[in-house]
Amino acid sequence: MNAVERVEIGRLTQLLPMGLTLSAAGDVVSVGATLRRIIGERRHFDEIFTIDRPKNVSAGFAALRPCLGRADRLALRPIAHPQTVLRGSGILLEQGGAFLNLGFGVGLPEAVRLFRLTDADFSPSELAMELLFLHEANSAVQNELARFNLHLEEARKAAEVQAYTDPLTSLYNRRGMDVALNTALLDCGSMPFAVAHVDLDLFKR
């Protein structure tokens, strides 16, 4: 019996709330509290997961067992929540069973929202919530920067309109007329055109 099997199985899943102990037949022996919320009360691996990784494994615990304990990482999808991918690793136990330790990886923010997880749902030594806080802070800063850039662009456009517009008539002023004429000259090609300047006496009055 190896060191892992000398530890009471239930205690392992207390330390690792995303841990899963399976018998040699693939039946659930013990499951961490957080993982239990995701997989529900199903009692056999084949009823709980489909396998994304290792790639060469078609389906089922019997096909997965030879891969456990090697360098291959696991990627499993809960059948009840196929949009969620759980990543992790596993080891074989001497009696033919297995112990898997899983996590959410980059899907952590979505999983926290979907399953309403809190800091208490993770191992105290796990950095999951710290990473989530960093993710949320980064999103908040990006949203604030986007709003700031939008306000800045609106202010720039408003200043440009004021610079080129006569406040009394809302028509182009001299600067605006220069811009309009330069644009007309660029767009006209070889087509000749003329500009007439009409002065209205006492117009503003």
- pTM given for the model: 0.59
User: Is the distance from CB of 98 to CB of 91 less than 8 angstroms?
Assistant: yes
How confident is residue 3, by pLDDT bands cut at 50, 70 and 90?
Answer: very low
In a 3-state reduction of DSSP, which class is residue 52?
strand
Among 80-94, 101-115, 189-203, which is the least confidently predicted range?
189-203
Separation of alpha carbons 83 and 197, rounded Å: 68
| Dihedral sign for Cα atoms in the order 140, 146, 149, 151 | negative
Model pLDDT for residues 120-149, shown as the tens digit of each residue: 777 766 666 666 666 667 777 888 888 888
Which homologous superfamily does the CATH classification assign to the domain defined by 3-124? Haem NO binding associated domain (3.30.450.260)
The whole-angstrom separation of Cα 129 and Cα 108 is 9
DSSP one-letter string for 73-87: PEEEEETT-TT--EE
Please report how many Cα atoms fall inside a 13 Å half-sphere around the Cα of residue 34, on the Cβ side: 26
